[in-house]
Amino acid sequence: MSNSSNPLCINVGFLLNQPVGTSHDIPFELERLDLSSDLIFTGFEAVIRIGRTPQGMLVSGDLRAITKLECARCLSKFNQPLESEFSELYAFNRKSTTESDLILPEDANLDLRPLIREYMMLEIAINPLCRSDCRGLCPVCGENLTSTTCEHHTLNCEGEPTKYSDNSLARALSKAISETE
């Protein structure tokens, strides 16, 4: 049913002659899945359900995976768990297509990678953060302020960094900023 070089290519031909309402679940567990050069999953788990409808094959999926992202603040790499679900109709003909405009190919082979990629990409934040309170990098020396402090930042009594404890530096910086504006 699924192809060994691309496990996410499923042949749904076996359901074509089944009565409307028949469905079949296909579980997936892949240690690694490369969807594209910019989207690589580890620990990919999914259940794909193929259902025979009068209009075509309804493919739905529950997806779970981990991907490595770069934190928008501190630039460190971190593992982001992702979860998504989808339901799309691969129609038998043009008359029955939905908004997604998917048609069941003649050979009944469905490559689910583009669909999975599209849905998982929606789950990735535009500015991903390694942790919600990531303090980012010191703009002066580049130290990662979540794990260390530097001479430009000291922690106040709440443990929050106080920016530019050195007043002369703060003045120099605000002067530099006002000059560039």
Q: Which residues would be at the binding site for Zn ion (CB under 5 A)?
A: 71, 73-74, 130, 134, 138, 140-141, 143, 150, 152
The string of DSSP codes covering 81-142 is EEEEEEEEEEESSGGG--TT--B--TT-EEE-HHHHHHHHHTTS-SS--SSTT---B-TTT-
- Min dist. Cβ of residue 25 to Zn ion (A): 38
- Min dist. Cβ of residue 166 to Zn ion (A): 10
Tell me the C-alpha to C-alpha distance, in Å, between residue 158 and each of 19, 130, 155.
Answer: 65, 21, 8
Q: Please identify, using beta-carbon distances, which residue of 83 and 151 lies nearer to Zn ion.
A: 151
Cβ–Cβ under 8 Å, residues 45 and 66: no
- Min dist. Cβ of residue 44 to Zn ion (A): 24
Tell me the C-alpha to C-alpha distance, in Å, between residue 146 and each of 3, 38, 137, 162.
Answer: 45, 26, 8, 13
Q: Please identify, using beta-carbon distances, which residue of 121 and 150 lies nearer to Zn ion.
A: 150
Cβ–Cβ under 8 Å, residues 112 and 8: yes
Q: Please identify, using beta-carbon distances, which residue of 82 and 144 lies nearer to Zn ion.
A: 144
- Min dist. Cβ of residue 123 to Zn ion (A): 19
Q: Please identify, using beta-carbon distances, which residue of 110 and 130 lies nearer to Zn ion.
A: 130
- Min dist. Cβ of residue 71 to Zn ion (A): 3
Strands 23-36 and 39-52: antiparallel
Could you tell me which of 46, 86, 47 has the C-alpha nearest to residue 66? 46
Q: Please identify, using beta-carbon distances, which residue of 63 and 138 lies nearer to Zn ion.
A: 138
